[in-house]
Structure 1
Amino acid sequence: MNTMQVLYNFQDKRIKHYRMKNMRYIQHLAVVCMTAWGITALFAACNADKQAKTEENVRQLLPDAPAEVTVIPLKTVDFEHELVSNGKISARTVAEVKFQTSEIIADVFVANGDRVTKGQRIAALETYALNNKLEQAKDALERSKLEMHDVLIGQGYKLDNLSAVPDEVMRLAKIKSGFNNAQTNYSMADYDLKQATLVAPVNGIVANLFAKPKTLSKPSEVFCNIIDTQSLEVVFTVLENELGFVRKGDNVKVVPYSMPDIEIKGRVSEINPWVNENGMVQIKATVSYHPQLVEGMNVRVSAFRSVGKQWVVPKTAVVLRTGKQVVFTVVDGKAVWNYVQTGLENATEYTVTGETLKEGDPVIVTGNINLAHESPVKVIQDEKNKE
């Protein structure tokens, strides 16, 4: 075999080798393409199925009928701002009743919660020692009087004409005889005997009575309190930055926490012009009489003050959409949302401002929880014609 024949055979083998290699590459590429096409088809089928399910769910969520809502016309009205605080009931008159001497308590005529009138007996001490003290003081007074007369007679004055004695001479005679001191002791003994019977200084209810008969009275301690429940007030505090919303004469509403069904009206009577270390200002308001109000009762206080003409809507009219406050109005059977800003508030209402709102717009106040912009709605009750 010559050289040319060898080269030809070698080249022929190389060509066959490359052809076989290309064929394997083409086959591999075909397998990859088929696999990719299959995966793509599978994803397409899944997406189509998901889209179909989503569309079905959306169709299920969307209401078949317009949402039923109630509306009120947007109007400018006098808004009453409400300031809420905690307070305590206090009687404007609380009398402290105490004995003046330390003696055994003979009788107690009343109990806590009893209503008493001015001058009514409350309790009495045993008076044996007090009567003896008064008698001794009376005797000492008589003896000092005799000594004073002796002094005057010694200076040439007659007892049947004491008016002729000069004032300075009389003064010195009383001092020398001890008459002034004896008279003071007698007056004090008489006073102690009279104070042995405690009487109510005012009309009211007995409170904090803990002493019992046959025990020793303590002049340093209050025997009981008499609370005038006909003149009650509530004491509460407001923040320094809320002080501008409270004025003397403003109306208040008081609700005891223990009896939330009771509402008592009152009026601001006093504003203490002092901000304490906690940034609070103390305010007092007189309240109407109620038989179930007692001294120290914890209450919720609402102070009301008119702040002039405002757009006012119920709190239920304001909802959140995309994190912003929205009020829905009805336009051609559809709910149209309007971005608003709320200002002052009370227990049930907001003042609002909004660029797209205008006087008289029908504002949706119920049925707006799940509304979207331009959702179809049906007005079932117009609140302005509710009555």
Structure 2
Amino acid sequence: LNAGPTAVDLHQAQATVQAAEQAMSRAHADLAAATLVAPYAGVVLEVNASEGETVAAGAPVLRLTDPTQVEAEITVVEEDFPLVKVGQTVDLFFDAMPAAAITGRVERIVPQRSATSTSPVYPVYIALDTAGPELAPGMTVDASVVIDRREEVLRLPRSLVRARPDGTATLKVWNGFSTEERTVQVGLRGNQYAEILSGLAEGDQVVSR
């Protein structure tokens, strides 16, 4: 007859099993750590590593975007900057979708001149109300910020009015014999027209500079 396992044998066997279980747990943990999990569902824009390549800690492996959370960056000129406010409605016209406008709202305004432009313009970021698969990062867009709406007002073509930061502008007005400079108070300014609050009367002839 063979003698059964001793207490020492059983203890060693149990220790071997425990070591194997711990090794398996570590292997599962290592496998989980090696798996990239996106923080949200989206579209991969860029992959910076290949299969089997060693990646340094903290190095970006890929770029991900959420197609349902699209943001547009526009710029506004210096004289319009004081008129733009967070929450205002914006109509956006994409070259990729010329037949339809997409609405959005002003989400944030950067009170610092754009470093990529030689003219005095300021970045404004627009959150789109809807975004479809037709839109992609880097597309060009024209935007119209709806500041306010006015009817039955005195107005001039925008090209004739260059408003200063305090809302005034100097115009050349024909008085019947010659031109005279006149300071006017400017109100709302659109893409085509500027509202004149004071300094002009209906019928006054403004001369282009």
TM-score bracket for this pair, using the shorter chain length: 0.5 to 0.7
Instruction: State the distance in 2 between where 1:217 and 1:281 align.
Output: 41
Give the structure 1 partner of residue 61 of structure 2.
223
Q: Give the SS at the match of 1:306.
A: coil
Query: What is the TM-score when the length of structure 2 is the normalising length?
Result: 0.55
**Contact 2:88/2:106, CA 8 A, preserved across alignment:** yes
Amino acid at match of 1:218: V
User: Which has more helix, going by share of residues?
Assistant: 1
1:273 Cα offset (Å): 3.7
Instruction: State the distance in 2 between where 1:253 and 1:246 align.
Output: 14
1:212 Cα offset (Å): 5.0
Q: Does 1:253 align with 2:102?
A: no
Give the structure 1 partner of residue 145 of structure 2.
303
**Contact 1:310/1:351, CA 8 A, preserved across alignment:** no
Q: Could you give the per-residue CA deviations for residues 193-212 of structure 1, whole angstroms, max 9, x where no partner exists?
A: 21333333211122213655
Q: Give the SS at the match of 1:244.
A: helix
Give the structure 1 partner of residue 38 of structure 2.
200
Q: Give the SS at the match of 2:30.
A: helix
Instruction: State the distance in 2 between where 1:198 and 1:246 align.
Output: 41
Q: Residues 281, 356 of structure 1: CA spacing in aligned structure 2 closer, same or farther, 3 A cutoff?
A: closer
Give the structure 1 partner of residue 124 of structure 2.
283
**Contact 1:236/1:283, CA 8 A, preserved across alignment:** yes
Instruction: State the distance in 1 between where 2:26 and 2:125 align.
Output: 41
1:18-97 maps to which residues of 2 (within 5 A)? Answer: none
1:309 Cα offset (Å): 5.5
> Which 4+ stretches in 1 moved above 6 angstroms?
186-189
Max radius of gyration: which structure?
1
Q: Residues 236, 196 of structure 1: CA spacing in aligned structure 2 closer, same or farther, 3 A cutoff?
A: same
Q: Residues 356, 305 of structure 1: CA spacing in aligned structure 2 closer, same or farther, 3 A cutoff?
A: closer
Q: CA RMSD in A?
A: 4.1
Q: Which runs of 5+ in 2 are unaligned?
A: 1-17, 161-171, 175-183, 205-209
Instruction: State the distance in 1 between where 2:40 and 2:154 align.
Output: 48
Q: Tell me the number of residue pairs that the alignment of Structure 1 and Structure 2 aligns.
A: 157
Give the structure 1 partner of residue 7 of structure 2.
none
Query: What is the TM-score when the length of structure 1 is the normalising length?
Result: 0.33
Instruction: State the distance in 2 between where 1:325 and 1:217 align.
Output: 73
**Contact 1:256/1:298, CA 8 A, preserved across alignment:** yes
**Contact 2:96/2:134, CA 8 A, preserved across alignment:** no
**Contact 2:89/2:106, CA 8 A, preserved across alignment:** yes
Q: Residues 223, 269 of structure 1: CA spacing in aligned structure 2 closer, same or farther, 3 A cutoff?
A: same
1:141 Cα offset (Å): 11
Q: Residues 187, 242 of structure 1: CA spacing in aligned structure 2 closer, same or farther, 3 A cutoff?
A: farther
Q: Residues 198, 276 of structure 1: CA spacing in aligned structure 2 closer, same or farther, 3 A cutoff?
A: closer
Give the structure 2 partner of residue 60 of structure 1.
none
Amino acid at match of 2:144: S
1:305 Cα offset (Å): 0.3
Q: Residues 205, 312 of structure 1: CA spacing in aligned structure 2 closer, same or farther, 3 A cutoff?
A: farther
1:139 Cα offset (Å): 4.6
- Structure 2 residue aligned with 1:294, among 124, 136, 145? 136
Give the structure 2 partner of residue 355 of structure 1.
201
Q: Could you give the per-residue CA deviations for residues 153-211 of structure 1, whole angstroms, max 9, x where no partner exists?
A: xxxxxxxxxxxxxxxxxxxxxxxxxxxxxxxxx99765432133333321112221365
Return the structure number with greater relative CO, CA threshold 8 A, min gap 6.
1
Q: Residues 308, 188 of structure 1: CA spacing in aligned structure 2 closer, same or farther, 3 A cutoff?
A: farther
Give the structure 2 partner of residue 86 of structure 1.
none
Q: Give the SS at the match of 1:198.
A: coil
Give the structure 1 partner of residue 108 of structure 2.
270
